[in-house]
Structure formats: structure tokens, C-alpha cells
């Protein structure tokens, strides 16, 4: 597939692929969901609010930054879960680029071309080009940032870690009679 990769839903697609991959690998190795699952309500509220801000933020950077802060808050609440440090690092990296460069620069995007909200063509005046959308992900024909990759890897590790290994059979200890 040649030509310019799309600027679209890459972060969402990558996260979904990582979560499904983490779950699939966990299930293949015999891991299962923990018994008595109680949803972390505060985390779910922050996650939903963060995604909502990111989705409806449009070109208003304030809503996008608020979305990042809410998502970081959700990840911090789950900090004991494997992979969450990667998620926080990725979110912080993306938020820093958006704030510093007034949106996410995208390598190969023609000047003036539309993309996701608050995205623009990578230009000489952008300060954090190395953290911008510069990584071509051929599997999804998208351009992503190092932050997107960190978020996705962290989400996959978190899903793998959430599923528990099979319980080991307890050994019966012989009691003297």
C-alpha cells in the first residue's frame, strides 16, 4: 500500500489492537479474568470523561488538554496495574506536544490538509517533532506518535496483567494420625 498514511483513528485502533492482543495472549497462556470483578467506578468515570473531552474537543485545545488530564487521572488511579506507567508516559508525551506545538504535528500531512482535531502538518516551527505523529504503522495505514505507541503497549500489558494465571492446585499436607 503506497502513498500517504491516513490521519484518523490510529490511537484508538492501536489501543484496541493492543488490548485484544494482550487478552488473546493471556487467554492462550491459560490466564482468566479474576473472580468477583468490581468495576473501578472512579476510573471509569474519569476514562469516559477524558474520552468525551478528546472526542468533542474539536480544535479547542482546552478540551483536548482537559481530556488528557482526565485520562492521566484514570491511569494514575490504576497505577498498581502493570502497564499503567507506560500509559501515563504516553499521555504526558502527547499532551506536551499538543500544548507546546498548538496541536499534534503530523509527518507527511500536506499543509492545510484536514486530519484529526488539533492536528496539523509537521512544520519547521514545531518544537517537539520527535514526539509528533511521525511513526508509520502499516498494519492500520496510520501515522502515530511515540506517545500513542506507549499508550497502546501499556494498555496491552495492563490487559495481560489483569487476567490471572490459573490457580495452582493446593497440595494436601499430610497430617499425622
> Region 54-60: what's the mean pLDDT?
72
Structural domain contains residue 170:
no
Who has greater pLDDT, 133 or 10? 133
Residue 118 inside a domain? The answer is yes
User: What is the 3-class SS of the chain, one letter each residue?
Assistant: CCCCCECCCHHHHHHHHHHHHHHHHHHHCCCECCCCCCCCHHHHHHHHHHHHHHHHCCCCHHHHHHHHHHHHHHHHHCCCCCCHHHHHHHHHHHHHHHHHHCCEEECCCCCCCCCCCCEEECCCCCCCHHHCECEEECCCCEEECHHHHHHHHHHHHHHHHHCECCCCCCCCCCCCC
19 domain residue, yes or no: yes
pLDDT > 80? residue 64:
yes
Q: How confident is the model at residue 93 (pLDDT cuts 50, 70, 90)?
A: very high
- Mean local confidence (pLDDT), 63-89: 89
Find the distance separating the first CA and the last CA of the chain, reported in whole Å. 74
- The answer to whether residue 74 sits within a structural domain is yes
Give the number of domains in the chain. Answer: 1
Neighbours of 141 (CB within 10 A): 15
Is residue 53 assigned to a domain?
A: yes
The predicted pLDDT at position 1 comes to 37
Establish if 104 belongs to a structural domain: yes
User: What's the average model confidence in pLDDT over 36-63?
Assistant: 78
Which residue range forms the structural domain that includes residue 142? 10-30+39-162
Distance (Å) of CA 23 to CA 32, 88, 149, 162, 176 = 9, 20, 18, 9, 45
Q: What is the mean pLDDT of the chain?
A: 79
Q: What is the pTM of this model?
A: 0.77
- Interval 75-98 mean pLDDT: 90
74 — alpha (psi -120 to 50), left (phi > 0) or beta? alpha
The cell for 48 is 469516559
Asked if residue 15 is part of any domain, the answer here is: yes
β-pairing, 119-121 vs 135-137, is: unpaired
In a domain, 172, yes or no: no
For 119, the grid coordinates are: 492536528
Amino acid at each position: 500500500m503506497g502513498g500517504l498514511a491516513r490521519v484518523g483513528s490510529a490511537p484508538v485502533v492501536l489501543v484496541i489492537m493492543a488490548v485484544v492482543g494482550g487478552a488473546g495472549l493471556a487467554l492462550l497462556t491459560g490466564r482468566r479474568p479474576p473472580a468477583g470483578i468490581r468495576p473501578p467506578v472512579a476510573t471509569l468515570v474519569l476514562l469516559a470523561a477524558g474520552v468525551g473531552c478528546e472526542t468533542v474537543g474539536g480544535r479547542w485545545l482546552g478540551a483536548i488538554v482537559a481530556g488528557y488530564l482526565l485520562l492521566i487521572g484514570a491511569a494514575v488511579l490504576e497505577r498498581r496495574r502493570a502497564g499503567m506507567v507506560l500509559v501515563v508516559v504516553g499521555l504526558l508525551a502527547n499532551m506536551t506536544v499538543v500544548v507546546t506545538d498548538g496541536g499534534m504535528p503530523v509527518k507527511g500531512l500536506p499543509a492545510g490538509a484536514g486530519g484529526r482535531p488539533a492536528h496539523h502538518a509537521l512544520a519547521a516551527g514545531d518544537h517537539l517533532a520527535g514526539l509528533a505523529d511521525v511513526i508509520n504503522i502499516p498494519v492500520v495505514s496510520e501515522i502515530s506518535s511515540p506517545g500513542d505507541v506507549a499508550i497502546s503497549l501499556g494498555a496491552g500489558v495492563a490487559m495481560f496483567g489483569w487476567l490471572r494465571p490459573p490457580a495452582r492446585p493446593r497440595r494436601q499436607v499430610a497430617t499425622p494420625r
